[in-house]
Amino acid sequence: MEATHVHGAGHAHGGDHAHHPKGIMRWITTTNHKDIGTMYLWFSFTMFLVGGVMALILRAELFQPGLQFVEPEFFNQMITLHGLIMVFGAIMPAFVGFANWMIPLMIGAPDMAFARMNNWSFWLLPPAGILLTASMFVPGGAAGTGWTLYPPLSIQMGIGMDMAIFAIHILGMSSIMGSINIVTTILNLRAPGMTLMRMPMFCWTWLITGYLLIAVMPVLAGAVTMLLTDRHFGTSFFNAAGGGDPVLFQHIFWFFGHPEVYIIALPAFGVVSHVIPAFARKPLFGYTSMVYAIAAIALISFIVWAHHMYVVGMPVAGQLYFMYATILIAVPTGVKVFNWVATMWRGSLTFETPMLFALGFLFLFTIGGFTGLVLSNTAVDVQLQDTYYVVAHFHYVMVAGALFSAFAAVYYWLPKWTGHMYDETLGKWHFWLSFIFFNIAFFPQHFLGLAGMPRRIPDYALQFTDFNQVSTIGAFGFGLSQLLFLYIVLKTIRSGEKAAAKPWEGATGLEWTVPSPAPYHTFEEPPVLTEAKGHA
C-alpha cells in the first residue's frame, strides 16, 4: 500500500496472553495463524530434507553406470517417494505456510477465517508424511510407480501403495480445508477500504490458487480411490481384463496434474511480485493485467492436460488440439516475465538475498518455461517423453521456480517473523551456491535427455556417464548448500541483529506497519486505509 496511512496497528497486543497453553500443547492446540504458519514452514523444510536425501540416494546410484548402492526396486521407491514428498510435503506446505503467516497481515485481518479448521489442516500433514516415509519399511516396500501412480503397476503393488493412497487422501483433505480457509479469509476479512483490486498480489495469486485446489484435489482423491477399489474391492476402472481402461487413470490424474503445476507456480509468482518491486523501488508493472492474466492462466490450465499423454495412443486431432492449446497458454505466462522485467526497468535496484533469489527464479523459471514449450510440441515430445529432458524441465520449474521463490519469501519475511535480520553475507553465499550447483546438477540433464537417456532408471548405457557424474556432483553440492540455509535461519532466530518494522526500504504493504517480530495478535481492530491509490 504505497502512501497508505494506517491507524490502529499500534494497538496490537505484544507478547503472549496468559490463557493459552505453553510448551508442546501450545503447538498442538494453537489456532493462531502465525503459529500455524510457522509449523507449516518447519514441516515443509523437514520434508524437503527427507525428500532431498532420497534425491541424493538416486543421484549417488546414478554416479556410475551399473548398480552400486541400491536395488532397482528400492530405486523406484525412492523416485516415487521423492516426487510425492517434494510436491505434496515440501513445496505446497511451504506456500500454505506463507499464506497463513502473511495473508492476514497483508489484508489487515486478525486471523484466518476458520481458525480451528486451520489447526486441523496443519495437523493432518504429519500423519501423511509419516505414512509416506513409513511405507518404505512395510513388506514389499513403498510404492514404486513414480509419483504419477499409473496402473497397472499401481494395482499390483503391496501395502506400501495403500499407504501412499491414504497419504494422498489426507494431504488432499488438508489442502482443501486450507484453501477454503484462504479463500474465505481473503473474501471476507479484508480491512475496510482494501478492495479486491487494491489487494497485494500474493493474496490474489492465493485466491486463485485456492479455487484451483478446491477444483482439482477431489479429482485426484477420486482417481486414487478408484485405484483403491480396483485393488481391493473388485472394481475394474483401470483394469482392461475387467473391461476398464488404464488410460482413463492418466486422463484423471493429469486433469489434476496440470492445474497442480499452476497451484505450485502461482503463489511463487505472487512472492516474486512482492520481492521484485521492493528491491526495484517501483510499483509492480501492470498490476491489474497481472491479476486478470493469472485468472486466465488458471482457467486455461484445465484444458491442456493430455500434453502429458502424447504417446499413449491418441488420435492425431487430439494431439494437435493439446499441442495448440498448450502453446497458447504459454502466452499469458510469458507475459508475466515481461511484467517483472518492466518492473525493474529504470528502478533503483539493490541485490539483497531475497532479490537474488527472485532474479534466480526469473531467469531459471524462464528456461524451464522454454523447455516446456519445446515439450509441448507433439513431434518433439514423442522423442523426449520419459527422458531426462523432462526431468530437467520440471526441476527448472519446480526447484528453480517454486523453491527459489520460496527462499526469496523466507529471506524477505524472516525479519518480520523473527524480529531479527539474517546474515546478508551468508544469505548471498546460500544463493550463489544454490544457483551454481542447481545448474551443474540439472543443466546436463537436458543433454542426457536429448541423447536418449530414459528417466526412472537406476542404470544406464556407458555414453551417458560423464554428464551423470557432473549432475551428481551438482546435486550433492546443492543438497549441502541447503544445510547452510538451515544454519542461517537458526542463526537469525537466535542472534540476528534487531530488525526494524520495515527492514526493506522499498517494501510496501500492511505487513510492514506492525512491529518486528509481528506480535502474537495483530489487527484485532481493522486498520484504516486512507489513501485510495496504489497497491502492494
Partner 1 sequence: MNGGVMMAERKAGLLQALRTVLSALFGVRRRSTHDEDVAGLRPIQVIIAGVIVVAAFVLAIIAFVQFVATR
Please give the residue ranges that form the binding site for ligand HEM (CB under 6 A): 52, 55, 58-59, 79-80, 82-83, 86-87, 91, 146-148, 391, 395, 398-399, 403, 441, 455-456, 475, 478-479
Tell me whether residue 117 or residue 335 sits nearer to partner 1 (CB atom): 335
393 is catalytic: no
Distance of CA 362 to the CA centre of its chain: 15
Q: What is the distance between the alpha carbons of residues 137 and 142, in angstroms, rounded to a whole number?
A: 7
Pairing, β 6-7 against β 528-529: antiparallel
List alpha helices for 62-158, DSSP H: 72-84, 92-107, 115-123, 125-134, 153-156
Q: Which of 455, 456, 491, 521 is catalytic?
A: 455
What is the number of other CB atoms lying within 10 angstroms of the CB of residue 233?
A: 7
174 is catalytic: yes
Min. distance of Cβ 249 from ligand HEM in angstroms?
A: 14
111 is catalytic: yes
For 301, the grid coordinates are 490450465
For 418, the grid coordinates are 523473527
* Residue from 18, 24, 241, 316 binding partner 1 (CB under 8 A): 316
472 is catalytic: no
Could you say whether residue 378 binds partner 1 (CB under 8 A)? no
In the region spanning residues 185 to 214, those forming contacts with partner 1, defined by CB under 8 A, are 196-197
Say which entry of Cu ion, partner 1, ligand HEM, none residue 286 contacts (CB below 5 to 8 A, set by partner kind). Answer: partner 1
Could you say whether residue 317 binds partner 1 (CB under 8 A)? yes
Closest CA to 412 of 271, 204, 203, 267: 271
Cα–Cα separations (whole angstroms), residue 216 to 19, 85, 204: 40, 19, 19
> Is the preceding peptide bond at 517 cis, omega within 30 degrees of 0?
yes
In the region spanning residues 324 to 353, those forming contacts with partner 1, defined by CB under 8 A, are 324-325, 328, 331-332, 334-336, 338-339
82 is catalytic: yes
3-class secondary structure for 300-350? HHHHCHHHHCCCCCCCHHHHHHHHHHHHHHHHHHHHHHHHHHHHHCCCCCC
Which residue's beta carbon is nearest to the bound ligand HEM? 83
Name the site residues for Cu ion (rule: CB under 5 A).
258
336 is catalytic: yes
Say which entry of Cu ion, partner 1, ligand HEM, none residue 295 contacts (CB below 5 to 8 A, set by partner kind). Answer: partner 1
Read out DSSP for 226-294? HHHHHHHS---SS-GGGT--HHHHHHHHHHHHHHHHHHHHHHHHHHHHHHHHHHHTSPPTTHHHHHHHH
455 is catalytic: yes
Min. distance of Cβ 529 from partner 1 in angstroms?
A: 19
Give yes or no for a contact between 251 and 305, defined as CB atoms under 8 angstroms apart.
Answer: yes
262 is catalytic: yes
- Using CB under 8 A, count the residues that bind partner 1: 27
Could you say whether residue 306 binds partner 1 (CB under 8 A)? no
133 is catalytic: no
Q: Which residues bind partner 1 (CB under 8 A)?
A: 196-197, 286, 288-289, 292-293, 295-296, 299-300, 302-303, 316-317, 320-321, 324-325, 328, 331-332, 334-336, 338-339
What residues are annotated to the active site? 82, 111, 147, 174-175, 258, 260, 262, 273, 307-308, 333, 336, 455
